[in-house]
Amino acid sequence: MKKTLAILLVLSIIVFLGYGCDTGSSSSTSSSSTSSTSSSGGCDTGSSSSSSTSSTSSTSSTSSTSSTSSTSSTSSSSGSVSDGDIVLSPGGNLQNAINTIAAGKTIWLNGGTYNMSATITIAESNSGTSSARKSIKAMGNGMPVLDWNSTSDNSSGRGIILDGSYWHIYGITIREAGDNGMLLSGDNNIIERCVFTANRDTGLQLSRYNGNYNSISQWPSNNLILQCESFDNMDSNGENADGFAAKLTCGEGNVFRGCYSHNNVDDGWDLWTNSGTPIGKVTIEYCISYMNGTLTNGTVMTNGDRNGFKLGGADVSVNHTVRYCIAANNGACGFTWNSNPGSIKVTNNTAYGNKKSNFYFAGGSSTFLNNISLSGSSDDKIAGSSLNANYNAWWTSGKAVSGNGVTVTSADFQSLSKGTLTWVSNTSVNLGTLLIPVSGSDLIGTGSGGVNMGAR
């Protein structure tokens, strides 16, 4: 029942009840916002985007109660306090700590709610090094929540702008910012085990901050987003707030690994590209996109695109990679090319119960291997190369059968329902027995190279 590619204690992903279709992106990369939308048939739709202009750094106005520790006596699941570190409790001045922390040192946040009143900015000049990162981490088992308490959209109201490089942010919840929870515009950063929720635009977005940066080499590159969760993000128009996005102006080498995006008003992942400005290749692996288009309280706003993984836009070729991912019960397509004519590598993914097509690739030269599609509301649409038709089971005419005769049914899986979210390794999300093949299933070992078909 395991994939010979050990491939993770892998994503046990999320339950399904699906939707599906290709759409453009709604994005915000700066303080001023210009909306332009267009739509077409199939699953493709236009993008609502905001142009990028740099804004001045604003500091948090919470009162300062920070203290520096000169001992290593306090331990944490993510390290120990050492000389030169800074420890904050709710009410502490996080912006001041960020401005003064030295390379190789950590800002520790005790558990509790930090009531924020301004954007936290980590300037481009405020960076660590490859051997001495600057860090912001939760202390011990505490749950620090940075809460901006925004009840309306505010294009200049992002939670955190991370424009510096070589930072590691671990175990923080970012909620109710007036725009993005985090704009990640620097390079070589690690965002790990963070939660982005109830923000008024995309939870975490990779795009430029400096509006004068017009070259892909100046855009955010080589960032790792690891085991993060993003949910219930919603803008007032119900069409811009994705779980995660790398769009408009992001560079090469960005990776999402083991992340969980669910119940956002727009897409789970959005990789929209504007005409004339292709973004860098993005890798999404071991991730789950579930029930996007419907908030956890049941709210549905039909203006959003509501795809699981939206992989392009504006007929611009970018060769992304999506592997070992699950898309379930999203309000439109599970996985969609969204008018990206490039060669997207789509390998060992599972889509279930999405409201349109589970897989919608109406054009382009993408490659497909070991993918499973079950119970889509519409037939899959596949253009490109299947590498070997024997090793993909597409949903067509009410059934899923691979070229070598492997039939996929609900009986092949231990469960089609999610369990309780846990993090089980450096790469994977566990939601119970969801989509794990049962003993004796013909999905086991019948993929190319003898691995299992699908994400698990």
Q: What are phi and psi of 306, to 5 degrees?
A: 70, 30
CA–CA separation, 21 and 305 (whole Å): 8
CA atoms within 13 A on the CB side of 126: 22
CA–CA separation, 270 and 307 (whole Å): 9
440 Cα distance to chain centroid: 34
3-state secondary structure at position 411? helix
Do residues 49 and 406 make contact, with C-beta atoms less than 8 angstroms apart? no
Quick one: tokens of 335? Answer: 């996985």
Quick one: tokens of 393? Answer: 């089971």
Is 310 labeled as catalytic in the residue annotation?
yes
3-state secondary structure at position 287? coil
447 Cα distance to chain centroid: 27
CA–CA separation, 161 and 98 (whole Å): 12
Query: Measured between alpha carbons, how far is residue 420 from residues 17, 175, 213, 330 in Å?
Result: 17, 21, 42, 19
Name the helix (H) or strand (E) containing 135: strand 134-138
Which parts of 116-231 are beta strand (E)?
120-122, 134-138, 144-147, 160-162, 167-170, 173-175, 182-184, 190-192, 195-197, 204-206, 224-226, 229-231
Quick one: tokens of 65? Answer: 């109660």
Query: Measured between alpha carbons, how far is residue 398 from residues 57, 101, 344, 407, 408 in Å?
Result: 54, 58, 26, 12, 11
Strand partners, 372: 350, 393
Do residues 107 and 88 make contact, with C-beta atoms less than 8 angstroms apart? yes
CB atoms within 10 A of CB 32: 14
Do residues 282 and 306 make contact, with C-beta atoms less than 8 angstroms apart? no
Catalytic residue chosen out of the listed positions 105, 310, 381, 418: 310
| Largest pairwise CA distance in the chain | 67
Q: Which residues are catalytic?
A: 310
